[in-house]
């Protein structure tokens, strides 16, 4: 037991049918069906390999994309192929989640064999009900089709999806009601590293928050600024643009429009309140970058063109942030400083990541795109800990008990 949750050390798996929920959600090239990154797939290997080596019949459950942002909503067939390659043993795939074909394939598994089910979010109940409108508690989730159909075939549930631990959905939170349940090795490792650094960080402790997860970022900022566990928050990406706008700064009409388009203007009031209360520890960009005729342009806020669409922090800001990171002893990062995927708007993230590579601080970088940025800037070996979770990491840092953690703890009480 660790953190009140059972681990793989406490269960016998030989000959058992084990449902293993992983988070291997990755950017996908839909033209070729290829995964554009394997970071999360690789991180999930230790648990799958251990289960297979110990003679479990391993049923892998995973999601890919969501029906809210259709571009990455896709089958998990490429993930099964990638897992086969990386594990050096076959990982079967069935294009069914919990119907008769999937159940028959599960019944046919032999000891040590692995089977990947299709994208769990193809089940309407997994996605639509829980993310958008209807909220079910974990007992109610246990009555969904996915859980009712798979539980009779299974002996054990393993959750190794730390990156999705903040999601309240049947494949993540409901099996724990009905099956003995443990966390996988990746979950255990991420929980251990992140919680120890979060509870007793060496000071100064700095958070770097960029990217687009504005609501999670603000929730987290509120709680960590109130609790005093952070000394400075360096902001970039949309998080910074909203804070700047809320503080009455000029960020360009294009940027404002983009905030509206993405529904993020609804956070302006909250951003204003955060700034009023904690201005001294929230650091904002003093300059921003935009693209004109395919070229990078930068200016101080007051000199930005009227219609600018800011897609990166400027280099003065990035240098100031780099100096803060150099002086820090603990740094948590989620979200790049700009659209780092494009050359013209990569510089802000590049300079910040260079500093992350050089600082003597403990550095934790989390989130799918943040991991891609780490690989792109060649810093993989220089970051103390790469966490698969972005949203999960920042919810975790806010001190909130994550739904998956709660469900696993309850299972320990019930079956442990």
Q: Which is nearer to ligand ADP, 116 or 311 (CB)?
A: 311
Stretch that binds Mg ion, among 59-67, 156-164, 326-334, 366-374 (CB under 5 A): 366-374
Q: For 139, what's the count of Cα atoms within 13 Å in the CB-facing half-sphere?
A: 0
Residue 59: closest CA among 9, 110, 12: 110
Triad 50, 53, 59: Cα angle to 5°: 70
Triad 192, 197, 203: Cα angle to 5°: 170
Contact between 368 and Mg ion per CB under 5 A:
yes
Cα separation, 156 vs 179, in Å, equals: 6
Q: Which is nearer to Mg ion, 184 or 368 (CB)?
A: 368
Residue 212 touches which of Mg ion, ligand ADP, none (Cβ within 5-8 Å per kind):
ligand ADP
Least Å from the CB of residue 163 to Mg ion: 10
Cα separation, 67 vs 62, in Å, equals: 15
Cα separation, 155 vs 415, in Å, equals: 12
Q: Which residues pair with 263 in a beta bridge?
A: none
Least Å from the CB of residue 176 to ligand ADP: 26
Residue 285 touches which of ligand ADP, Mg ion, none (Cβ within 5-8 Å per kind):
none
Contact between 216 and Mg ion per CB under 5 A:
no
Least Å from the CB of residue 26 to ligand ADP: 11
- Buried residues in 335-361 as b, exposed as e (16+ CB within 10 A): bbbbbbeeebbbbbbbbbbbbbbebeb
Tokens coding 85: 């390659």
The residue of the chain with the least Cβ separation from Mg ion equals 369
Binding residues vs ligand ADP (CB under 6 A): 210-213, 237-238, 241, 310-311, 334-336, 338-339, 341, 367-370, 390
Least Å from the CB of residue 51 to ligand ADP: 28
Residue from 369, 392, 394, 402 that binds Mg ion (CB under 5 A)? Answer: 369
**Does the N-terminal peptide bond of residue 204 adopt cis geometry, omega within 30 degrees of 0?**
yes
Residue 341: closest CA among 36, 74, 42: 36
Stretch that binds Mg ion, among 41-49, 62-70, 123-131, 362-370 (CB under 5 A): 362-370
Q: Which is nearer to ligand ADP, 1 or 70 (CB)?
A: 70
Q: Which is nearer to Mg ion, 69 or 293 (CB)?
A: 69
The H or E element spanning position 372 is: helix 368-376
Q: Which is nearer to ligand ADP, 198 or 411 (CB)?
A: 198
Residue 389 touches which of ligand ADP, Mg ion, none (Cβ within 5-8 Å per kind):
none
Residue 348 touches which of Mg ion, ligand ADP, none (Cβ within 5-8 Å per kind):
none
Residue 146 touches which of Mg ion, ligand ADP, none (Cβ within 5-8 Å per kind):
none
DSSP 122-140: GSHHHHHHHHTS----HHH
Contact between 389 and Mg ion per CB under 5 A:
no
Q: Which is nearer to ligand ADP, 54 or 376 (CB)?
A: 376
Tokens coding 97: 């989640």
Tokens coding 14: 């030989």
Q: Which is nearer to Mg ion, 122 or 340 (CB)?
A: 340
Least Å from the CB of residue 397 to Mg ion: 17
Residue 78 touches which of ligand ADP, Mg ion, none (Cβ within 5-8 Å per kind):
none
């Amino acid at each position: 037991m660790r953190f009140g949750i059972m681990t793989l050390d406490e269960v016998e798996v030989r000959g058992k049918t084990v449902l293993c929920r992983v988070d291997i959600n990755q950017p996908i090239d839909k033209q070729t069906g290829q995964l554009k990154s394997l970071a999360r797939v690789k991180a999930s290997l230790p648990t799958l390999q251990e289960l297979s080596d110990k003679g479990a019949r391993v049923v892998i459950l995973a999601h890919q994309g969501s029906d809210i942002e259709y571009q990455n909503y896709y089958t998990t067939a490429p993930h099964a192929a990638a897992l086969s390659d990386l594990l050096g043993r076959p990982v079967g795939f069935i294009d069914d989640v919990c119907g008769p074909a999937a159940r028959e394939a599960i019944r046919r598994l032999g000891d040590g064999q692995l089977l990947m089910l299709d994208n769990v979010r193809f089940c309407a109940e997994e996605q639509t009900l829980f993310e958008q409108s209807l909220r079910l508690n974990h007992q109610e989730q246990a009555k969904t089709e996915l859980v009712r159909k798979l539980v009779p075939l299974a002996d054990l549930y393993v959750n190794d999806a730390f990156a999705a631990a903040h999601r309240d959905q049947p494949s993540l939170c409901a099996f724990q009601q009905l099956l003995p349940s443990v966390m996988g090795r990746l979950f255990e490792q991420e929980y251990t590293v992140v919680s120890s650094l979060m509870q007793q960080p060496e000071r100064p402790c700095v958070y770097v928050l960029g990217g687009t997860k504005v609501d999670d970022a603000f929730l987290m900022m509120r709680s960590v600024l109130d609790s005093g566990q952070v000394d400075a928050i360096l902001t970039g990406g949309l998080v910074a643009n909203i804070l700047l706008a809320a503080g009455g700064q000029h960020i360009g009409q294009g940027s404002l429009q983009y905030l509206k388009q993405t529904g993020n203007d609804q956070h302006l009031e909250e951003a204003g309140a955060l700034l009023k209360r904690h201005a001294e520890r929230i650091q904002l960009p003093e300059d921003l970058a935009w693209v004109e005729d395919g070229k990078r342009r930068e200016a101080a806020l007051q000199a930005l063109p009227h219609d600018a669409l800011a897609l990166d922090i400027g280099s003065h800001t990035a240098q100031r942030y780099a100096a803060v990171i150099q002086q820090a002893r603990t740094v948590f990062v989620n979200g790049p400083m700009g659209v780092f995927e494009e050359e013209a708007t990569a510089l802000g993230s590049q300079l910040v990541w260079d500093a992350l590579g050089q600082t003597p601080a403990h550095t934790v970088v989390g989130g799918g795109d943040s991991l891609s940025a780490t690989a792109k800037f060649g810093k993989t070996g220089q970051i103390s800990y790469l966490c698969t979770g972005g949203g999960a990491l920042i919810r975790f840092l806010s001190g909130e008990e994550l739904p998956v953690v709660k469900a696993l703890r309850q299972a320990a009480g019930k079956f442990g």
